[in-house]
Structure 1
Amino acid sequence: MSIQKNEIDDVNPNKNLQIPEWINANYFQGILAKDYPDFERIVKFITNAATGPGENFTTIMVRVIIDLQLKNSKSLTTSYILKTSLINSGASELFINMNIFPKEMEIYQSILPKFEKLYKESSRKIVKFGPECKFIEDFAERTSIVMEDLRRKKFKNINRCLGLDLYHMEEVLKKLAQFHAASAVSFERFGPFSEHFSQSFFDENNRAFFEERGKAQRKIFLDVMKKWGGCERYMEIWPNYENILQWFIEQEKPAPNEFAVLNHGDCWSNNIMFQYDANAKIKETYFVDFQMCKWGTPAQDLYYLITSSAAYDVKVAEFDKLIRIYHENLAANLKILKYSKSIPTLKDIHMIMIKYSLWGFFTAINTMIVILLDPNENANIDSYMNDEEFRARSLMNPRYIKAMKQLLPWWENRGVFSI
């Protein structure tokens, strides 16, 4: 798909981003030759940050805009998204140990095509989950993934600070149910996913890392919560992070005979893109950023999505309705794909949501903090993990305080603090 020059702007949303020098015109010669058989030469090559400050924490995201000339002298403009690893980040080793790039490579190269084929064979229905992958490179010195630029198809994100309203949440849950159903059927037919999809942050190798930061984080939370007002009760029952970490390590693998899926693992508003029709109705919903995928309970994705990205008036008030919407679509898609085991009931899903409710708490005291922040050029993974002053300021964000004051009594009533 090509576009006219005036349909794409070359504004750089993050001029402080350090773009690697190897992302240049020569790097894209082969990609262009494959996409455009009549490709002759690059006329103009522009690299910009693909996201603004504080919008992406685990990788470098670059939008590449190219003016090119074809052999028939016709010219056009195209664009791509290139993702590569962080440069000089203290968190780089943690993400390397998580195998985030091998996971995403496998997702794009084999898992998504397999899921989409399952739907096509079972229902003759075209189901797409994310952007088309154009090129993958995996060497010791660098790893990169080049994808289609969904902006060319008019996809966009919602405002993460406002969150997803009920209409958008319903569409996301429909797509998530399709993804989860395909993963359960794939597991049943083709066997387990690769071993690295059983890995998460929470294992014995990372225990010292998280315990050290967890103690500091707990102190910051309790100090700041004194300023919120009316939260003294929750300060008294605030869990120790050693207990939280131990719980996650023990829950690393799903219990025998418990319904399990391949979780997206990072299912929040910036990793969800919508395409609309002329009447502002959602035509399509795509996921991006498949680097945290994890085999386990669907409660992980559900809590992560609802806690981090549902709008304030949806997050708690519509929680049970959201779970029902998910279950209805999960059951329908499992039937379409001819899942041979017992399909979980709505009660089953609610029960795992109670069992794994700590996922919601953990999401709120980590991911939700940065999602509700105003765009901030100082917001990056290192400042988030290591700068105590930055974290303390983040916790005083009025949007975050409002969300937490809504969630705290709800969590207590659901037994979240009983670990």
Structure 2
Amino acid sequence: MPPQTQDVVINQNDKKLPDWIKTEVFQELLKKQVIGYKATKSLRASAGAAAGENYATIMFRIEFDVELNDETQITKAFMLKAPHETEIYQKLLQSHNFFDIERGMYFKVVPELEELYQNVGHEIKFGAECYEIDIKDHYVLLEDLRPRGFRNVDRLKGLDQAHTESVLLKLAQWHAASAVRVASKGSYDEKFTKGFFRDPEVLRMLCTRNLQSLLNYIHLYEGHEQYLNELQNITPKLLEVVMEMSEPHEDDFNALNHGDAWSNNIMFQYNEKNELINTYFVDLQIPKWGSIAQDLLYFLLSSTELDIKISKFEYFISFYHKELVKQLTLLKYTKTLPTLKSIHHSLYKYGGWGLFAILNVMGVVLLDSDPNANFESFFEDDAEHKSNFKKSIYTNPRYRKHMEILLPWLQYRGALE
């Protein structure tokens, strides 16, 4: 985009730009980030994600046209995350401050993980750079990764084997480093360990209302008679599994889970030949200390291609386990290394979490972009079939195709008992 000569604000999808976004707020940051900085000529803001691509926050792409000392101009861009202003969101923010947590992850937790690898001679990066500006409002300001060749994979298609392996490698590195860090320095601050899926209202929405929404349309699913009775009676079990997973158990291999590892929260870097060369995590708002079964079931069931989702599941767990042991050994983990069998045990133990993932996450992953999709849509009550958003998820032919394979698979694994 060519440099502009005046401030231009572009609002897309009716997203309100925070009032504090002004050129002077970013002045000191630009002086540090731009070599040869002379002056900021203009600011432009646009929606950083289309409707239906991001729910937990509002994303903006902030661009600055900067004049350099040699009289030339360049454009410097950042990604800004800001809060929704709705009553529901503000209430949740009081009990789970997404922004305080994520900024803490970027400024404290992630640098420690990366330092562990530096100490053994490996340069591992987990995500974008995060920046501070002098304001009191809730925000997360991140490096724009697009100029470096990063992008998301088409979530509707899902991740192929190569991309899935790349994510599992990064998860293994992340899990291993966090386990080593806690073994050597002690527990993380509670705000990084509690997780998001324990709030009573959130659990009612995810484990009760959404299950009822699925049941409203389950008659459309081929073969639903096979597991209908179990689904109709599983709400207490689902709540039990989610609550059990909310606390770490000594007999599990525990690590810091990303907590929201689905395809739109993962960016892939490609070279000039369009070859995959790196993987970064984004959206570090709901980390959770506990069994790594949480990240594995959440990611593999929500975000992979249908052709490999089940057929390659056992292979992917084996691939992850080998990388996890490799990373733990590299980082000189002092405790007993997890076995492949122990990881499978956890996946069966928390099998209900697989239902949680396909009920609450996979539907959004497989939903066509919808201008009406927003954070509040998740909290709609569909008891009388009045939620168009919920209907669009659970009647989506793409979603149904996945569910017709996954629900019997979970049943065979005992996850619906």
TM-score bracket relative to the smaller structure: over 0.9
1:212/1:20 CA distance change after superposition, 3 Å:
closer
Q: Deviations over 1:110-168 (max 9, x none)?
A: 1111111110111x1110000011226673xx211211100111100000111100110
1:227 maps to 2:220: yes
Residue 153, structure 1, aligned to residue 148, structure 2: yes
Distance 1:202 1:268, change over 3 A: closer
Mapped pair 1:130 → 2:124: no
| Residue matched to 2:412 | 413
Counterparts of 1:354 and 1:86, CA distance in 2: 37
Taking the aligned partners of 1:414 and 1:257, their CA distance within structure 2 comes to: 21
The worse-fitting range, judged by mean Cα deviation, of 274-283 and 397-406 is 274-283
1:378 aligns with 2:372: yes
Contact 2:193 / 2:256 at 8 angstroms: preserved in 1?
no
Aligned partner of 1:351 among 331, 345, 348: 345
Tell me, yes or no, if the aligned pair for 1:211 and 1:242 is still in contact at 8 Å: no
Gaps of 5+ in 2: none
- How far does residue 11 in structure 1 lie from its aligned partner after superposition? 12
Asked if structure 1 preserves the Cα contact closer than 8 Å seen for 2:10 and 2:44, the reply is: no
Match of 1:171?
A: 166
Cα deviation 1:294-329 (Å, max 9, x = unaligned): 100001000111011011111111000110111111
CA distance in structure 1 between the aligned counterparts of 2:134 and 2:285, rounded to whole angstroms: 15
User: Counterpart of 2:411 in structure 1: which amino acid?
Assistant: E
Change (3 A) 1:12 1:260: farther
Displacement of 1:201:
3.3
Q: What's 1:85 paired with?
A: 83
Q: CA offset at residue 37 of structure 1?
A: 5.1
Is 1:332 paired with 2:339?
A: no
Where do residues 33-182 of structure 1 align in structure 2 (5 Å cutoff)? 33-36=31-34, 38-122=36-120, 124-135=121-132, 139=136, 142-182=137-177
User: Per the alignment, do residues 138 and 13 of structure 1 end up closer, same or farther by CA in structure 2, a change over 3 Å counting?
Assistant: closer
- Residue identity over aligned pairs, in percent, reads 37
- For the 8 Å contact 1:40–1:71, the answer to whether it is kept is yes
Write the distance in 1 (CA, Å) between the matches of 2:107 and 2:321.
28
User: Residue deviations 1:45-73, cap 9 Å, x none?
Assistant: 10011111111111111101111112332
Q: Name the CA shift for 1:209/1:351 in 2 (closer, same or farther; >3 Å).
A: closer
Aligned to 2:391: 392
Residues 13 and 50 in structure 1, CA contact (< 8 A), matched pair in contact too: no
Q: Which moved more, 1:397-406 or 1:225-234?
A: 225-234
AA at the equivalent of 1:237? E
Q: 1:138 to 1:387 in 2, by over 3 A?
A: farther
Deviation of 1:228 after TM superposition, in Å, equals: 2.4
User: Letter of the aligned partner of 1:404 in structure 2?
Assistant: M
Match for residue 401 of structure 1?
400
SS of alignment partner, residue 139 of structure 2: strand
Per mean C-alpha deviation after superposition, the further-off stretch among 380-389 and 106-115 is 380-389
Describe the SS at the equivalent of 2:14. Answer: coil
Contact 2:366 2:399 in 1 (8 A): yes
CA distance in 1, matches of 2:304, 2:34: 40
- Supply the distance in 2 between the matched residues of 1:244 and 1:91 (Cα, whole angstroms): 24
TM-score, reference length from structure 1: 0.92
**CA contact under 8 A between 1:137 and 1:143: conserved in structure 2?**
no
In the TM superposition, residue 257 of structure 1 has moved relative to its aligned partner by 4.1
Aligned residues: 408
Deviation of the 1:198 alpha carbon: 2.7
1:14–1:158 CA distance, 2 compared to 1 (3 A): farther
3-state DSSP of counterpart to 2:315? helix
| CA distance 1:265–1:208, change in 2 (3 Å) | closer
Aligned 1:262-301 pairs, distance under 5 A:
262-301=256-295
The change in CA–CA distance for 1:249 and 1:387 in structure 2 (over 3 A counts) is closer
Aligned residue among 355, 364, 379 for 1:361:
355
How far did 1:197 drift? 2.2
Q: Distance in 1 between matches of 2:87 and 2:370?
A: 18
Inter-partner Cα distance in structure 2 for 1:208 and 1:80: 33
Instruction: Give, in whole Å, the separation in 2 of the partners of 1:14 and 1:230.
Output: 42
8 A contact 1:137–1:145 mirrored in 2: no
Q: CA deviation at 1:92?
A: 3.2
User: Residue 365 of structure 1 aligns to a residue in which SS?
Assistant: helix
Q: Is the 8 A contact 1:136 1:145 kept in 2?
A: no
Distance 1:406 1:13 in 2: 41
What amino acid is aligned across from residue 291 of structure 2 in structure 1? T
Contact kept, 8 Å, 2:195 with 2:289, in 1: the verdict is no
